[in-house]
Structure 1
Amino acid sequence: MTAPSGFRVEKVVTSGTFELDGGSWAVDNNIWIVGDDSEVVIVDAAHDAAPIIDAVGGRKVVAVVCTHGHNDHVTVAPQLAERLDAPILLHPADDVLWEQTHPGLAHRDLADGDRISVAGTEIEVLHTPGHSPGSNCLYLPEAGQLFSGDTLFSGGPGATGRSYSDFPTIIGSIRERLFALSPETVVNTGHGDGTSIGDESPHLEEWIARGS
């Protein structure tokens, strides 16, 4: 299968801080605009709404989908939702993190297996806990694209050294959900450079040894 004509993936990078457990770290985040000339889905909502809104460029926004609830992935979700008239989608297992950044503000719930239609194709929600309880990856079978949030990076799994994270859980998510996908699947990450399933899957046992 191939993506519909006109389908594309655009990247916006914003800078700010990741804050958890009393610490603060400077980070650059990838925000992904997924769709065509008419409609898009925004994947993550980091730090600064203006460049994200500029990248959308007046297109219809089907949803603002947050791969997980850490503050650097949801910073401007409410602002984007208001300005672009779009729902915010987040897995409810990350409500404890969402409330730290946006107390009392509502979002719609994501669930494993949900499908989001955009630009003539579908995004499949894969619940991949470990980096956080409600972490999700977004898979587009027709386009051969995966949006991995902070679950999988070029060179290894996402961090699991802070509250609400767990190393064996993230390894299980990657092994069972992500490495079951085609090796040619392009992985668009939440930070840094992208990769592919085929580039990362041979290294699973190395990661386990390193993390144990």
Structure 2
Amino acid sequence: MTDARIERLITVGNVGAGSPGFPPEGLTLDNNVWLVGNDDQVIVVDAGHDAAAIEKAVAEREVLGILLTHGHEDHINAARTAAAALDTHIYLHPADLFLWELTHGDAMPDFELADRAVFGVAGTEVVTLHTPGHTPGSVCFALPGLGTVLTGDTLFQGGPGATRWDYSSFPDILSSIDGQLFTLPESTRVLPGHGDETSIAREFPEMEAWRSRGW
């Protein structure tokens, strides 16, 4: 029996200032940071914008790791500061190291994520699912004991994440959603990297509509 729970922290920050494809002043984004655990220990999923807010949300709990869904700036820009403050390690899929380096230079994450890697926290499992498409190293984290999947920017309420970059792939993200996420029970809650939750049952019937619209 687990007493694990999922907590949502919304952080806000500005990204992309001065970068190609962004307004000169950058974009202000709200990000979901997910905490999985109980009163004693926790895993942090994504670390965007505000390390102090993440540290406050964790409080006195032991942090077993910071798991990153992908390498985009808004999901990782507070990771190093938060990891140092919380005395923990950072995990990222190696296919997104080129994006990590744009934000953090040559200060590498501590460990690599791999498909089906399993983490344990508060008596429940966190299962890594490699879901390329939004980025080559995008992953989701399935929590079968909690009937939930944390999808980063792979799947949102209303469809897949953006694939407008030259390293992204719309066919790949559809394949990832179909092969990794839509094999989960229909009752599974979907908690994305931005915005509100949805479910596998709600999104599953829309696959052909997404395929037809092409985004």
**Following superposition of structure 1 onto structure 2, how do residues 7-46 of structure 1 map, counting pairs within 5 Å?**
7-19=4-16, 21-23=20-22, 24-46=26-48
**Following superposition of structure 1 onto structure 2, how do residues 48-197 of structure 1 map, counting pairs within 5 Å?**
48-107=50-109, 108-197=111-200
Shift of 1:164: 1.7
Q: State TM-score, norm by structure 1.
A: 0.96
After superposition, the CA RMSD in angstroms is: 1.1
Shift of 1:83: 0.6
Number of equivalenced pairs: 209
- 1:142 alignment partner, SS class: helix
Q: 1:52 to 1:148 in 2, by over 3 A?
A: same
8 Å Cα contact 1:14/1:28 also seen in 2: yes
**Which portions of structure 1, spanning 4 or more consecutive aligned residues, are displaced by more than 3 angstroms?**
none
8 Å Cα contact 1:15/1:26 also seen in 2: yes
State the identity as a percent.
49
Distance 1:6 1:126 in 2: 23
Distance 1:143 1:135 in 2: 22
8 Å Cα contact 1:124/1:138 also seen in 2: yes
- Segments of structure 2 that go 5 or more residues without pairing to the other structure are none
Distance 2:12 2:42 in 1: 22
8 Å Cα contact 1:13/1:30 also seen in 2: yes
Shift of 1:5: 3.7
Distance 1:82 1:25 in 2: 27
- Segments of structure 1 that go 5 or more residues without pairing to the other structure are none
8 Å Cα contact 1:21/1:162 also seen in 2: no
8 Å Cα contact 1:115/1:125 also seen in 2: yes
Distance 1:61 1:68 in 2: 20
Matched, 1:207 2:210: yes
- Over residues 69-101 of structure 1, what are the superposed CA-to-partner deviations in whole Å (9 max), with x where a residue is unaligned? 000000110011111111100000000100000
Distance 2:207 2:128 in 1: 22
- Over residues 40-88 of structure 1, what are the superposed CA-to-partner deviations in whole Å (9 max), with x where a residue is unaligned? 0000000011111111011000000010000000011001111111110
Q: State TM-score, norm by structure 2.
A: 0.94
